Structure 1
Amino acid sequence: MEVILQQFANLSILIYIVSTMLSMGLSFFPKQFIEPLQDKKLILKSLAANFILVPLLTYIILQLIPLQPGLAIGLVLMAAGAGSPFMLKLVQFIKADMAFAVGLMLILSTVTLIYLPLSLSFLLPDISVNSLSIAVSLLVLIFLPLLGGTALKWRYSKLAEIIKPTFNQISNIFLFVVVLLYLGLNYQDFLSVFGTGGLLAALIFVLASYFIGYMLGGPSKNTKTVLGMGTAIRNSSAAFVVALANFSAQYEVMAMIIVVYSLSIIVMMLISGEIGKRTKKSEDI
């Protein structure tokens, strides 16, 4: 029974990833991939924040807080992947620069497809990973659904608007199923996150990542907030793909991915709530 549930958990991850990418693709026209490139300085700072400074931050955290190998791998995988669609919901709530948020997410997601498989040999020098296999998995599970959804949005925009909420709901449901199943099947591994410094490392990672993005996102306060959230909320889909392909027997890896992603959502929701209150007060004055 446990084996069947584990297989269903792995299948749920795949459904979550594909439905998330399809939903993302159905939200944007192809031109929205190109528009953000106009501000090259801001894009370069965004790339530096997500693909240079966050991995460097992760290295520092792991030197200060030694973690079990599986937990460390999970944190590294989250550090190496950027471009979470959940960021858009928060940006919409706080009424920040939505155009920049969309472009940022698309660019970070695209760069992740190239950066993640190439960087793991440097970020995880003591562990053997198949970079080609990772690249193919990312292409099939992330890029193709994203591209397919975008093509459908461009060709049949009305149909895309109709089916997008369905894929969005499927994504949310299966993310919940993934968390529930992995908590139930591997609760001891999740408890280990709280008892070995993993939770502290995850919290420092999320807060410091937000600070890095915020500081590099200027001069506009709107873009600072967007980049802060875009840097703090990592690409769990890409991390899941790599974890399934290379570390499926190490449940601590999946535990750390889920903990970091969940914690980033909670912390960013608290921050966005505070920003939303301040925005409302300024509008009332």
Structure 2
Amino acid sequence: MGPITATAVIDFVTVVFVLATMLSMGLALTVDEILGALGQHRLLARSLLANLVLVPLLAFAFVLVIPMETGHVVGLLLIAMAPGAPFGPKLAEISKSDVAFASGLMAVLGVVSVATIPVTVAFLMPGDVAADPVGIARIVVVTQLLPLIGGLGVKARYQPVATRLRPPVQRLSTYSLVLLIILLTIVYAGEMVQLVGTGTLFISAVVVVGALLLGYVLGGPNRSTREVLATTTAARNVAIALLIATTSFDDPSVLTIIVAFGLVSLVVSGPVASLWDRSNES
């Protein structure tokens, strides 16, 4: 057995993070929340349009008109293609919006992205980038769909078990995310510094703000659903994007832009949710 490399450790921690995150999500959700999201047909259609089509196309438009390094292009497109951030319901809770809809939408996006991410990769990824849509679909199924369904099954049939199991799984998700960020920062510190002068952070911020506005506009007449769709659309699924990046691409700049985008989305979405919380109370 050869020496354990930093890349291998990052890959392992990323897998643990994604599995724990999706399992925790399933353990927290109920079938009623999912059915509630599915029952709002027009709102759900607009939500899927914003998350699965418009945000990836927005990122793709920037890629077409602004010269960027190949790794940054791949990273930006990957994170734009990955909907359903696990902390979407938390942002809804902060803004005192429709938490049930946020939870149901998160689950729906987690399921449908199994099909949409590989398809979007096949259509939007640059032709000179070697990407395997079938392999990516397999990754999404194994690490995102199966633990999500498993968690939902435990929650539905053995609720006391789910109640006891979720806190340690959620802590594992949080700790593995913190460890992953530390590892990425240490291993790719040079790439992070170089990113500052490329303009990619500004592009990421514009895409995040654009996603926020798209979600708000398409969220319907109800303010609480507008706020949910806005923050959910802006907060992309860093977990699955990182996993695809670590298993499918060798360029470290791909990971760098995904982490940077995730941080930018939190910096934008978090304060916006807090601002809406104060306005909802007034």
Question: TM-score, normalising length from structure 1?
Answer: 0.94
- Which letter maps to 1:36? A
Q: What SS class does the counterpart of residue 34 from structure 1 fall into? A: helix
Whole-Å Cα distance in 2 between the matches of residues 97 and 60 of structure 1? 31
Unmatched segments (≥5 aa) in structure 2:
none
Matches of 1:252 and 1:234 in 2, distance apart?
18
Alignment partner, residue 54 of structure 1? 55
Shift of 1:256: 0.6
SS in 2 for 1:26: helix
Aligned counterparts of 1:211 and 1:2: Cα–Cα separation in 2: 48
**Equivalent residue of 2:73, what SS?**
helix
Q: Which residue of 1 aligns with 2:275?
A: 274
Q: Is the 8 A contact 1:71 1:256 kept in 2?
A: yes
Q: Which residue number in structure 2 is paired with residue 259 of structure 1?
A: 260
Task: Within 5 Å, give how 1:68-87 maps onto structure 2.
Answer: 68-87=69-88
**Counterpart contact for 2:88–2:103, Cα < 8 Å:** no
Q: For 2:111, give the aligned amino acid.
A: T
Matches within 5 A, 1:181-220: 181-220=183-222
Q: Which amino acid aligns with 2:8?
A: Q
Q: Given the superposition, is the C-alpha separation of residues 133 and 183 from structure 1 closer, same or farther in structure 2, using an over 3 Å criterion?
A: same
Q: Does 1:172 align with 2:174?
A: yes
2:132 corresponds to: 130
Q: Say which is worse superposed, 35-44 or 10-19, in terms of deviation.
A: 35-44
Conserved in 2, the CA contact under 8 Å of 1:71 and 1:193?
no
How far does the alpha carbon of each residue in 1:91-147 deviate from its partner, in whole angstroms, 9 at most, with x for none?
112211112111111111111110001111111131221111111111111111111
Rounded to whole Å, the distance in 2 between the matches of 1:47 and 1:145 is 22
What is the deviation of 1:259?
0.7
Provide the C-alpha distance between the structure 1 equivalents of 2:258 and 2:142, rounded to a whole number of angstroms: 21
The answer to whether the Cα contact below 8 Å between 2:33 and 2:101 also exists between their aligned partners in 1 is: no
> Could you report, residue by residue, the CA deviation over 1:229-250 in whole angstroms, capped at 9, with x for unpaired residues?
1100001122122112211x21
Q: What is the letter of the counterpart of residue 104 of structure 1? A: L
Aligned residues of 2:33 and 2:104 also touching (Cα < 8 A)? yes
| Alignment check: 8 A CA contact 1:30 1:151 kept | no
Q: Which amino acid aligns with 1:154?
A: A
Equivalent residue number for residue 159 of structure 1: 161
C-alpha distance in 2 between matches for 1:121 and 1:5:
29
Distance in 2 of aligned mates of 1:267 and 1:75: 17
Aligned letter for 1:74?
G
Identity in percent: 31
Q: Is the Cα–Cα contact under 8 Å of residues 11 and 247 in structure 2 kept in the other structure?
A: no
CA deviations on 1:243-284 (whole Å, 9 max, x unpaired) are: 12211x21100011111111111211111111112222x2xx
d(CA) in 1 for partners of 2:246, 2:5: 16
Gaps of 5+ in 1: none
Task: Please state whether the residue corresponding to 2:150 is helix, strand or coil.
Answer: helix
Indicate the SS of the match to 2:5: helix
CA distance in 1, matches of 2:35, 2:279: 32
Give the structure-2-normalised TM-score: 0.95
Moved more, 26-35 or 207-216: 26-35
1:30 positional shift? 2.9
**1:134–1:241: 8 Å Cα contact kept in structure 2?**
no
Write the distance in 2 (CA, Å) between the matches of 1:259 and 1:3: 26
| Map of 2:106 onto structure 1 | 105
How many residue pairs were aligned? 280
**Distance in 1 between the 2:187 and 2:88 partners?**
29
Task: Name the residue aligned to 1:118.
Answer: 119
Distance in structure 2 (CA, Å) of the matches to 1:199 and 1:27: 33
Question: In the alignment, which residue of structure 2 is the partner of 1:29?
Answer: 30
In the TM superposition, residue 180 of structure 1 has moved relative to its aligned partner by 0.7
Q: Distance in 1 between matches of 2:4 and 2:257?
A: 21
1:205-244 aligned at under 5 Å gives the runs 205-244=207-246
Inter-partner Cα distance in structure 1 for 2:164 and 2:62: 44
Deviations 1:173-198, CA, capped at 9 Å, x for gaps: 11111111111011111122211111
Deviation at 1:48, TM superposition (A): 0.9
